[in-house]
Each structure stands twice: as C-alpha cells, then as structure tokens.
Chains A and B, each alone.
Chain A
Amino acid sequence: MDFKDLLKELKGNLLSLMGSKFDDLKDESKKDVQDFLKASKAKLERWTTLLAEGNITLDDYKWLVESQKDLVVLQGLYAAGVSKIKLGHLKNSILDTVINTAIGFVKDKEDGNNEANA
C-alpha cells in the first residue's frame, strides 16, 4: 500500500469536508490543516515501516489508516466548531457596540432633559 496515495486521499477528504471554505480560513486554521497533513504523513510512513518489518499485521495497519480517516472527520468538526465560536465572538462584539451606543444615546437624552429641567 502506497502511503503517498493514502496521504493524497486524506488530503482530498479533508479539503472536500471544508469545501470551498479552505481559501477563506484564517492563517491560524490553515496552519492547523497543514500541521494535520504533515502529522498524517509521518504516521503513514511509520505504520508502513511497521507493517514491512512485520511488527503489525495488515489488519492492524488497515485499522490505523481508518482511524486516521476518522481523525480527518474529527478535524473537520473541530475546524467548523472553532469557526462558529469565532463568528460568535464577532457577533457578540457587534451586539456589544449596539448596546453601548444605545446606552450612550439614552444617557445623552437623560442629561439633556435634566439640564432643561434645571
């Protein structure tokens, strides 16, 4: 089994999970994806060597490769979740600004009324 083909497949799966969003990801998230692929390459090389030397069976090897494919899905969930959190923070800060503006607006009106009454 050629680990380069497997790596290509893993990369393909990860990118298709993210769809066209990969280009829109922030540098930090892109780095996460690249680090993951780098780690995948190292694992696949190690497992192939273990298999070639008879330290693990073909069945073990397949199980490990499948687990790396499952990890791709998990990484996709993680990336989606982190994007959602970041979006939440952005929306919250927008909402924060709206509320502060509203509070400032009401205070200005109150001050104006107090001055008029004085």
Chain B
Amino acid sequence: MKTRFYAVYLGALTLLLVSSCGSLRAPVFDQYSYQKGTELKVDALNLMDKATMSYDSEKTAIDTFQAELDKMLEYQKNRENNTISYAMWKMITNPDKNFIGGFLKRWKEKGTLIGPFITEAKGQVSDALDLILQYEGKKDPVAENKLKAILGIQ
C-alpha cells in the first residue's frame, strides 16, 4: 500500500516537473525542415545564377520557387515550439530584408542584375540558409526521446 502511495506521489511529482519544465518544449529536430531547407538552398542559388537574364523571362521558375518558399514559411509557422526557426525563415523570405526574398524583389525592380553582385549575394543567401540548417541540425531528439521512453509516452 505504502509503495503504491510512493509510486503515485513520485508519478505526480514527475508529471508536475514535466508540465512545468520549459525544456521539454525545446525545439526538436525535424527531418522535413532539414531536407526541404537543403533543397531550397540549392534551388535558390541556382535561380540566383539566372538573374543576369531578365526577370520576366524567368518568371515561371521564380513563381514556382516563391511558392515553395511560402509553403516552407507556413510549415515553420505551424510547428510547435519553433519561434526561433520561424523568425529565421521569416527574415530570409522577407522582401525587405537582404536575403533571397530581397534578392528576388531587387531582380524584379532592376530587370537584370550583374554577375559580380549575384556572386556576392549568393554568398549571403548561402550563409543565411546554412545558419538555419545548422540550427536545425543542433536540435537533438535524443534527450526528449529518452525522457518520453522513461515516461512511457512514446
């Protein structure tokens, strides 16, 4: 009887810890985000190479890419405990910030862009997307999975 009491007491204590512990709501690695992010990086850099040609001639490819970016942003927005990744994706896609969103806006405004600028801008977009991918890669599912296994909620 006493053992059962201790078990219930400790179970309740654990649940209290679990529900109050913010770390369990820490970001968790997401394979889709990592994979899709990598694809978007490659697509973005390939598309940027075409900016020596007129925006209008590449409009179909740009629209397709933009739609993929929008989907990724929406996906990140709706992931739980994902404030930082969502903020990073918002910056990268924002036309008023100088990453891929801003690059596409500039291409549209100027019609065409020059080679040396494209090369340097690609470096910036690449660095920004690398940061997002590295951040996703730092999210470690091991600790959370271990805890879930102990609690039997996996």
Write out, one digit per residue, whether chain B residues 76-106 have a CB within 8 A of any chain A CB (1) or not (0): 0000000011011001100001110010001
**Chain B at the A interface: SS class:** helix
Q: What interface size band does chain B fall in?
A: 35 or more
Scan residues 89-114 of chain A and give those whose CB is less than 8 A from a CB of chain B: 89-93, 95-96, 98-99, 102, 105-106, 109-110, 113
- Please tell me which stretch of A5-13, A16-24, A72-80 contacts chain B, meaning at least 4 of its Cβ atoms lie within 8 angstroms of it: A72-80
Cβ 8 A contact of A74, one of B102, B128, B146 = B128
Cα–Cα, bound, A85→B121 (Å): 30
Cβ 8 A contact of A91, one of B7, B21, B120 = B21
A109 pairs with B2, CB closer than 8 A: yes
Q: Measuring CB to CB, which residues of chain B are less than 8 angstroms from any residue of chain A?
A: 2-3, 6-7, 10, 13-14, 17-18, 21-24, 26-27, 84-85, 87-88, 91-92, 97-99, 102, 106, 114, 116-117, 120-121, 123-124, 127-128, 131-132, 134-135, 138-140, 143-144, 146-147, 150-151
